[in-house]
Protein backbone atom coordinates (compact mmCIF):
# COMPACT_ATOMS: atom_id res chain seq x y z
CA UNK A 1 0.00 0.00 0.00
CA UNK A 2 1.14 3.52 -0.71
CA UNK A 3 -1.36 5.48 1.36
CA UNK A 4 0.10 6.92 4.55
CA UNK A 5 -2.81 8.97 5.86
CA UNK A 6 -6.00 10.38 4.34
CA UNK A 7 -8.16 13.07 5.93
CA UNK A 8 -11.65 13.65 4.59
CA UNK A 9 -12.68 17.00 6.01
CA UNK A 10 -15.99 18.84 6.26
CA UNK A 11 -17.79 15.55 5.69
CA UNK A 12 -21.54 16.04 5.83
CA UNK A 13 -24.17 13.62 7.07
CA UNK A 14 -24.78 12.21 3.57
CA UNK A 15 -21.13 11.28 3.15
CA UNK A 16 -20.96 9.84 6.65
CA UNK A 17 -23.91 7.55 5.86
CA UNK A 18 -22.23 6.43 2.63
CA UNK A 19 -18.94 5.94 4.47
CA UNK A 20 -20.57 3.53 6.94
CA UNK A 21 -21.51 1.32 3.99
CA UNK A 22 -18.23 1.68 2.08
CA UNK A 23 -15.93 0.89 4.98
CA UNK A 24 -17.51 -2.56 5.35
CA UNK A 25 -15.74 -3.46 2.08
CA UNK A 26 -12.31 -2.10 3.02
CA UNK A 27 -9.36 -3.76 4.71
CA UNK A 28 -8.68 -2.91 8.35
CA UNK A 29 -5.15 -1.67 7.62
CA UNK A 30 -6.55 0.78 5.05
CA UNK A 31 -9.31 1.97 7.38
CA UNK A 32 -6.70 2.82 10.05
CA UNK A 33 -5.21 5.32 7.61
CA UNK A 34 -8.47 7.14 6.81
CA UNK A 35 -10.06 9.69 9.10
CA UNK A 36 -13.44 11.19 8.27
CA UNK A 37 -13.68 14.56 10.00
CA UNK A 38 -16.50 17.06 10.25
CA UNK A 39 -16.12 20.81 10.59
CA UNK A 40 -13.93 20.54 13.71
CA UNK A 41 -10.99 19.06 11.78
CA UNK A 42 -8.19 21.58 12.21
CA UNK A 43 -6.49 20.28 15.37
CA UNK A 44 -6.38 16.73 13.98
CA UNK A 45 -4.96 17.82 10.62
CA UNK A 46 -2.38 20.10 12.25
CA UNK A 47 -0.96 17.10 14.12
CA UNK A 48 0.21 15.76 10.75
CA UNK A 49 0.60 18.86 8.56
CA UNK A 50 2.60 21.99 9.29
CA UNK A 51 0.41 25.13 9.06
CA UNK A 52 2.80 26.51 6.41
CA UNK A 53 1.93 23.53 4.18
CA UNK A 54 -1.82 23.80 4.69
CA UNK A 55 -3.78 26.27 2.52
CA UNK A 56 -5.37 29.26 4.23
CA UNK A 57 -8.87 28.12 3.22
CA UNK A 58 -8.31 24.94 5.28
CA UNK A 59 -6.97 26.83 8.31
CA UNK A 60 -3.27 26.92 7.50
CA UNK A 61 -0.96 29.78 6.60
CA UNK A 62 0.00 28.84 3.01
CA UNK A 63 -1.28 31.11 0.26
CA UNK A 64 1.07 30.11 -2.60
CA UNK A 65 0.68 33.65 -3.90
CA UNK A 66 3.60 33.24 -6.32
CA UNK A 67 1.77 30.50 -8.24
CA UNK A 68 -1.78 31.84 -8.16
CA UNK A 69 -2.98 29.94 -5.13
CA UNK A 70 -2.50 26.62 -3.39
CA UNK A 71 -4.84 24.73 -5.70
CA UNK A 72 -2.55 25.55 -8.64
CA UNK A 73 0.67 24.72 -6.76
CA UNK A 74 2.36 21.42 -7.63
CA UNK A 75 3.85 20.76 -4.19
CA UNK A 76 4.68 17.26 -3.20
CA UNK A 77 7.35 14.61 -3.04
CA UNK A 78 6.86 13.82 -6.74
CA UNK A 79 8.75 17.04 -7.57
CA UNK A 80 11.77 16.21 -5.36
CA UNK A 81 14.84 15.47 -7.53
CA UNK A 82 16.15 12.81 -5.11
CA UNK A 83 12.89 10.91 -5.14
CA UNK A 84 12.61 11.10 -8.92
CA UNK A 85 16.19 9.84 -9.30
CA UNK A 86 15.63 7.00 -6.79
CA UNK A 87 12.41 5.90 -8.49
CA UNK A 88 14.29 5.46 -11.78
CA UNK A 89 16.99 3.27 -10.24
CA UNK A 90 17.02 -0.25 -11.71
CA UNK A 91 17.17 -1.63 -8.16
CA UNK A 92 13.69 -0.19 -7.53
CA UNK A 93 12.24 -3.01 -9.62
CA UNK A 94 13.97 -5.82 -7.73
CA UNK A 95 12.83 -7.83 -4.75
CA UNK A 96 14.70 -7.06 -1.54
CA UNK A 97 16.48 -10.25 -0.46
CA UNK A 98 16.26 -9.36 3.24
CA UNK A 99 12.49 -9.23 3.40
CA UNK A 100 11.36 -10.92 0.18
CA UNK A 101 9.28 -7.91 -0.89
CA UNK A 102 9.56 -5.50 -3.77
CA UNK A 103 11.75 -2.59 -2.76
CA UNK A 104 9.92 0.61 -1.97
CA UNK A 105 10.96 4.15 -2.70
CA UNK A 106 11.49 4.66 1.03
CA UNK A 107 13.98 1.79 1.09
CA UNK A 108 15.90 3.36 -1.78
CA UNK A 109 16.06 6.78 -0.13
CA UNK A 110 17.41 5.32 3.10
CA UNK A 111 20.36 3.75 1.29
> 34-86: per-residue pLDDT in tens?
999 988 899 999 998 888 888 888 888 888 777 777 777 776 666 777 767 76
| β partners of residue 55 | 62
103 found inside a domain? yes
71 found inside a domain? no
105 found inside a domain? yes
Of how many residues is the chain composed?
111
Helix (H, G, I), strand (E, B) or coil at 34: strand
Number of domains composing the chain: 1
Instruction: Give the global pTM.
Output: 0.59
What span, in angstroms and rounded, lies between the C-alpha atoms of 91 and 86? 9
First to last CA, the chain: 21
- Position 109 scores a pLDDT of 47
Tell me 68's DSSP state. Answer: T
32 found inside a domain? no
Amino acid sequence: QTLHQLYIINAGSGFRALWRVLKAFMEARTLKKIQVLGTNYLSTVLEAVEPSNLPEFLGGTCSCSATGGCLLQDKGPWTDAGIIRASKEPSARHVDSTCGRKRTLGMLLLE
